[in-house]
Amino acid sequence: MSRDADTVGRQLGRQPRGTWRVAVRCTFGYPVVIATPSRLPDGEPFPTLYWLTCPHLLDAVARLESAGEVDAWAALLASDVALANRMRVADAAYRSARAAESGGDDACATVGIAGQRDPLGTKCLHAHVAAALAGINDPIGESILGSLAHECEDKRCSEGATDSE
């Protein structure tokens, strides 16, 4: 198993399905976001392009979701036309990036960030943060990142690492 596969497996508590690559690393060199094509090796469509793997960010975003931030963002998108327009642009960029990651054939072209058909649908803040970290101008992800420390201070992804890492 490669160093990245071992690290991502520890971060997520399991190996991700299908093929993937590291899209973003932290300053310690560990994966933060992985990218996957839109089709698993068995042909099954797979809409999630960017996966957040960093345990520090996973925990921080989970706390926001538990505190009701998904509903708060849905309400903001419904009431703020400029924000909604920015989210539509981000969703289109996500779909384009997923097609590129998939060699031009996006098996999930009818859905966007977090598998949502509606670009203003909000269900997974982790997906928005991962998209923003990977370079999509996602206003939800960018705002959340603006309120969080982007990295841990304790190099926690080294826990359980082998000496060859």
Q: Where are the domains of the chain?
A: 3-158
Residue 122: CA count within 13 A, CB half-sphere:
25
Q: What is the pLDDT of residue 24?
A: 98
pTM over 0.95: no
Q: What is the pLDDT of residue 165?
A: 42
Q: What is the pLDDT of residue 38?
A: 97
Q: 3-state class of 74 per DSSP?
A: helix
- Which residues of the chain register pLDDT less than 50? 163-165
User: What's the CA gap between 138 and 131, in Å, rounded?
Assistant: 7
Give me the residues paired with residue 31 across strands: 25
Q: 3-state class of 22 per DSSP?
A: strand
Q: What is the pLDDT of residue 164?
A: 42
Q: What is the pLDDT of residue 1?
A: 54
